[in-house]
Amino acid sequence: MIVLVLVRTEHRIRRHSNFFSTHEFMENFVRIIGGGLAGTEAAWQLARRGVAVELFEMRPVRRTEAHATDQLAEVVCSNSLRSDSLSAPAGLLKAEMRQLDSLIIRIAEAHRVPAGSALAVDRDSFARGVTEAIQALPNVEVIRHEVESIPDDGIVILASGPLTSPALSDALTAKLGEEHLYFYDAISPIVSAESIDMSVAYRAARYGKGGDDYINLPLTREQYYRFIDALVAAERVATHCFERFVPFEGCMPIEELADRGKETLAFGPMRAVGLIDPRTDRRPYAVVQLRQENRQQTLYNLVGFQTKMTYGEQRKVFALIPGLANAEFVRLGSLHRNTFINAPQHLLPTLQWRQRETLFFAGQMTGVEGYIESAATGLLAGINAANLIFDIAPVVPPPTTALGALLRYISDPERKRFQPMNVNFGLIPPLSVRLRGKAKKEMLSRRALADMAAWLGELDGGASGVDGSDLANAEKLDCLIHGETVIEVQPFRNEGKAVVP
């Protein structure tokens, strides 16, 4: 039997009709609003430090426009967490999150599907894995209830995500004193594997990286222009009159890209560079890539084909792609609202609200864009909420790290025109030596990981900070993933050590 040692703190809760505890009964516990990637990561970071957690998730009591299940950490856009390579900023951020013992990265690796050099997941088993891991934590209580207002006392992490409910959104607007900014995430369609005409398609990954993980649908020049003409002319879903359409560049609907010019897609998501057709030994004029959606290889999504076309138009336009003439669309593309705050004016780099140190924000609401970015902010919010409980100063990773650079970007009060941002090397301070291309990126990554390791060592003096519970938690999670053993939880008294990563 594996014994899990956890720091246990006082957690006395008295229930009221509003589902919140009164201030006098709130010693040493944290309330998290939102059970997405950020909220679950924050809960994990708090629990492994011995802090009791109430995790509020409104689904299935209240549904959203985009979610399909009531599982925690459901991913609704792509199933890819992007590149795992250290020459890519997303790969660096994931490596840093591994250093910080990220639950989301662990579960993702346990439920990954082939995707070349990227980390992609079977979305259903991934969400189940996160849900089971969180529900198994003895000091985390998952409460299925819609939170309509932000608690005025205690430590709170607001991680309600891009689809924050109208009531909570109104409460947030009132608290911040300004209107939210809005943009839309567009979801790519998914087709059944058996409906793809493989006599037209060929398997390959760009430049041969990852073997033959992707299905590629080649287009001639004539086929490409015919597709573009139909795409631009297609009917689109109208935006509500009370919301302005401000799409994030990295999730731009494909028809919006096509509006910019006929060749835009040929140099964007349909670029054929590095995708030689083995049957002709030539590069097609354009290519549509399909990425495996689940482990069973029965579903594939159209990479980069986010759309706000009507359902009828999607079926008509996408049928013009060679290999998809008779495709079965198990999910058509759609749009959902994404809500984020003006983070530079409201957040410290520690993710605390500038007007209240006990209120943290995490996830896409902070203005980060992407799954791993959202989870990473939840990770730091969880760490800093725990530090607040144990009377330790909140922390921020060095600016030379991907996470540290991203946090400084979203919290820079001098930033006047704020838009959501993925992690990227442009946010990280330059090297002291002049390098180019891949060598420069890899050197930035090596420096970042070294600086992160040194920072962690300085924080806890080389010790774990939780007297060995890191190892126990790692073993526990491995057991959860593989469905093994029963965990016995023993109390442990905090002796004044810094509770740090």
Compute the distance between CA of residue 351 and CA of residue 52 in angstroms, rounded to an integer: 20
Same-domain check for residues 284 and 413:
no
The CATH number given to whatever domain includes residue 27 is 3.50.50.60
Structure tokens at 400: 């030379």
Q: Would you give the DSSP letter of residue 374? A: H
Compute the distance between CA of residue 283 and CA of residue 144 in angstroms, rounded to an integer: 52
The CATH number given to whatever domain includes residue 250 is 2.40.30.260
CB 83 within 8 A of CB 91: yes
The pLDDT value recorded for residue 231 is 97
Structure tokens at 330: 């198990």
Confidence of residue 27 (pLDDT cuts 50, 70, 90): low
Across residues 251-269, what is the average pLDDT?
92
Residue carrying the six token digits 């493989």: 198
User: Is 293 among the domain residues?
Assistant: yes
Confidence of residue 480 (pLDDT cuts 50, 70, 90): very low
Across residues 489-498, what is the average pLDDT?
32
244 pLDDT more than 60? no
Domain boundary residue among 337, 371, 386?
Answer: 337
Same-domain check for residues 374 and 473:
yes
Same-domain check for residues 160 and 267:
no
Compute the distance between CA of residue 254 and CA of residue 133 in angstroms, rounded to an integer: 36
Compute the distance between CA of residue 90 and CA of residue 83 in angstroms, rounded to an integer: 6
Residue 441 or residue 475, greater confidence: 441
Mean pLDDT score across all residues of the chain? 83
Same-domain check for residues 222 and 316:
yes
Structure tokens at 165: 């409910």
User: Is 78 among the domain residues?
Assistant: yes
User: Is 500 among the domain residues?
Assistant: no
User: Is 498 among the domain residues?
Assistant: no
User: Is 499 among the domain residues?
Assistant: no
The pLDDT value recorded for residue 402 is 97
Domain boundary residue among 337, 366, 390?
Answer: 337
Same-domain check for residues 152 and 240:
no
188 pLDDT more than 90? no
The pLDDT value recorded for residue 501 is 44
The β-bridge relationship of strands 356-361 and 352-353 is antiparallel
Domain boundary residue among 302, 337, 372?
Answer: 337
How many CB atoms neighbour CB 19 within 10 A?
A: 15
Same-domain check for residues 60 and 148:
yes
Domain of 52, in residue numbers: 3-177+341-490
The β-bridge relationship of strands 215-219 and 329-331 is unpaired
Per-residue HEC secondary structure of 104-115 comes to HHHHHHHCEECC
In 3D space, the residue among 188, 204, 218, 217 whose CA is nearest the CA of residue 116 turns out to be: 204
116 pLDDT more than 70? yes
Considering its fold, how many domains does the chain have in total?
2
Confidence of residue 181 (pLDDT cuts 50, 70, 90): low
10 pLDDT more than 60? no
In 3D space, the residue among 380, 371, 364, 372 whose CA is nearest the CA of residue 456 turns out to be: 380
Confidence of residue 250 (pLDDT cuts 50, 70, 90): low
The pLDDT value recorded for residue 489 is 28
